[in-house]
């Protein structure tokens, strides 16, 4: 959430910055400023009314003690009227404050200076490429055919028990999935991230805290009776562990990692680009989350990018990194790098990770602050990244590691799978 004080001082500069997203934010900024002024005016009137009522209360007591009951009664009636006015002003103030908060929730984060303007993923900038695209044997197949041939994933069975986008992993497919989760967690903990296990459902406050609400409400599965949401990523519960917390500066940086299933109500579409594991409603992901001092957050972002690069290098998958343009940038992000693995069988790039710096945007919503002893608390910076999302990594392994005899297993995963080949 953008700081209100910043909006007051730099509204036009914020509007220009948000133009990079292809968003004309001036109406929202103007509404926020108008509601802020209304709220402040109401607060001033309320304070004045309460002060006058308090003054009259003291005067009434003096008049009664002086035997001036008639005058005291008149002031008592005026005091009662002021209390009614104060109650009305409090109601109006609450309404204005709520409307202001709702407006602030609609404003996305300011893009970092390095983010280029753009409308869609077509305007993203490739900043790094690694690995050679393998030459596959004649008759190479996409992962959904390989999964069927070797009985690794049953998409139809998932449809039977739940619906499209909920696959069932079987045999060596399930073992490979578990191996990837364990390998990613081991890589992350070796890099200093503390492993957590967190709830897979969160309350509304948690959704607002990390910015999924109200922006992504239509994409989240809900449990209305309990006011809960299935998590779209472990980022949500992990980051909310520090909601309403003031950290000591010595506790920074905070580095967490967690595995979780993720649930997303993706918009329906058809075609090869969403077949098999390319787009799911439930999928597994290992997440990394960091909380940093503002002056360290971009060095931390680069460290996270290097960490994810190291995992993909070890898997020996061809990949590239993109810096997202303003129009493709997530609502809460100031700067995001996307990692994409090349699917040789599909002849297309598949996103496997996003690594983002949210600066103080989430922390302002979360009231996540830090301070030195005796100093005023200030907002921290939050970051997160996928290390890694499993479905398209698994698709990339199945497709890029296939040969005439079956599918080889990346060397680093063999100690986790217990086998070096499928087929």
Per-domain residue ranges for the chain? 4-105, 121-422
Res 267: pLDDT: 55
> Which residues share a beta bridge with 154?
168
Tokens for 133? 């695209």
Lowest mean pLDDT segment, chosen from 50-54, 230-234, 277-281, 333-337 = 50-54
- Higher confidence at residue 337 or residue 70? 337
Q: Residue 242 — φ and ψ, nearest 5°?
A: -105, 15
Name the 3-class secondary structure at 203. strand
Q: What is the pTM of this model?
A: 0.92
pLDDT higher than 80, residue 268: no
Q: Residue 262 — φ and ψ, nearest 5°?
A: -125, 145
The model's pLDDT over 283-338, given as tens digits with 9 standing for 90+, comes to 999 999 999 999 999 999 999 999 999 999 999 999 999 999 999 999 999 999 99
The model's pLDDT over 102-127, given as tens digits with 9 standing for 90+, comes to 999 999 999 999 999 999 999 999 99
The model's pLDDT over 182-194, given as tens digits with 9 standing for 90+, comes to 999 999 999 999 9
Calpha distance 236→212 (Å, rounded): 8
Peptide bond into 352 cis (omega under 30): no
Res 278: pLDDT: 94
User: Cβ neighbours of residue 236 under 8 Å, at least 6 residues apart?
Assistant: 202, 206, 207, 209, 210, 212
User: Cβ neighbours of residue 310 under 8 Å, at least 6 residues apart?
Assistant: 187
Residue 319: C-alpha distances to residues 40, 129, 143, 179, 345 (Å): 52, 6, 17, 21, 15
The model's pLDDT over 131-148, given as tens digits with 9 standing for 90+, comes to 999 999 888 999 999 999
271: confidence class by pLDDT, cuts 50, 70, 90: low
CATH of 4-105, one of 3.40.605.10, 1.10.760.10, 3.30.300.180, 1.10.287.40: 1.10.287.40
User: CA quadruple 351, 355, 359, 360: dihedral positive or negative?
Assistant: positive
The reply to whether domains 4-105 and 121-422 share a CATH topology is no
Res 73: pLDDT: 80
Res 273: pLDDT: 66
Query: What mean pLDDT comes out for the span 164-174?
Result: 97
Res 320: pLDDT: 98
Give percent of the chain above pLDDT 90: 88
Average pLDDT across the chain, whole number:
95
Q: Does 3.30.930.10 match the CATH number of domain 121-422? A: yes
Calpha distance 175→170 (Å, rounded): 8
């Amino acid at each position: 959430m953008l700081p209100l004080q910043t909006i007051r001082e730099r509204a036009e500069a914020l509007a220009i910055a948000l133009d990079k997203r292809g968003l004309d934010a001036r109406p929202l900024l103007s509404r926020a400023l108008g509601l802020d002024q209304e709220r402040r005016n109401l607060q001033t009137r309320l304070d004045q009314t309460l002060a006058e009522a308090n003054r009259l209360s003291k005067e009434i007591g003096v008049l009664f003690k002086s035997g001036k009951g008639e005058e005291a009664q008149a002031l008592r009636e005026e005091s009662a009227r002021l209390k009614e006015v104060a109650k009305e002003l409090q109601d109006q103030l609450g309404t204005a404050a709520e409307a202001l908060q709702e407006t602030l929730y609609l404003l996305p984060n300011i893009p970092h200076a390095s983010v280029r303007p753009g409308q869609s993923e077509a305007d993203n900038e490739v900043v790094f490429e690694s690995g050679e695209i393998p030459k596959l044997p004649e008759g190479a197949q996409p992962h959904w055919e390989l999964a069927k041939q070797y009985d690794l994933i049953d998409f139809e069975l998932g449809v039977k028990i739940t619906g499209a986008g909920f696959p069932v992993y079987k045999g060596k497919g399930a073992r490979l999935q578990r191996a990837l989760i364990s390998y990613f967690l081991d890589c992350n903990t070796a890099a200093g991230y503390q492993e957590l296990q967190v709830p897979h459902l969160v309350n509304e406050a948690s959704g607002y805290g990390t910015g999924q609400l109200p922006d992504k409400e239509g994409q989240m599965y809900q449990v209305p009776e309990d006011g809960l949401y299935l998590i779209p990523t472990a980022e949500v519960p992990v980051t909310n562990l520090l909601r309403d917390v003031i950290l000591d500066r010595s506790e920074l940086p905070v580095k967490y990692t967690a595995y979780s299933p993720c649930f997303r109500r993706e918009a329906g579409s058809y075609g090869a680009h969403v077949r098999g594991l390319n787009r799911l409603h439930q999928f597994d992901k290992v997440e990394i989350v960091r909380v940093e001092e503002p002056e360290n957050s971009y060095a931390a972002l680069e460290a996270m990018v290097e960490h994810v690069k190291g995992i993909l290098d070890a898997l020996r998958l061809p990949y590239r990194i993109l810096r997202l343009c303003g129009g493709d940038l997530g609502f809460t992000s100031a700067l995001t790098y996307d990692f994409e693995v090349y699917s040789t069988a599909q002849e297309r790039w598949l996103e496997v990770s996003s690594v983002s710096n949210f600066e103080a945007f989430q922390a302002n919503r979360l009231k996540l602050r830090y301070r030195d002893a005796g100093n005023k608390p200030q907002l921290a910076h939050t970051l997160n990244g996928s290390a890694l999302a499993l479905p398209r990594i698994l698709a990339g392994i199945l497709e890029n590691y296939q040969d005439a005899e079956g599918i080889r297993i990346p060397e680093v995963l063999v100690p986790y799978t217990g086998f070096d080949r499928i087929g």
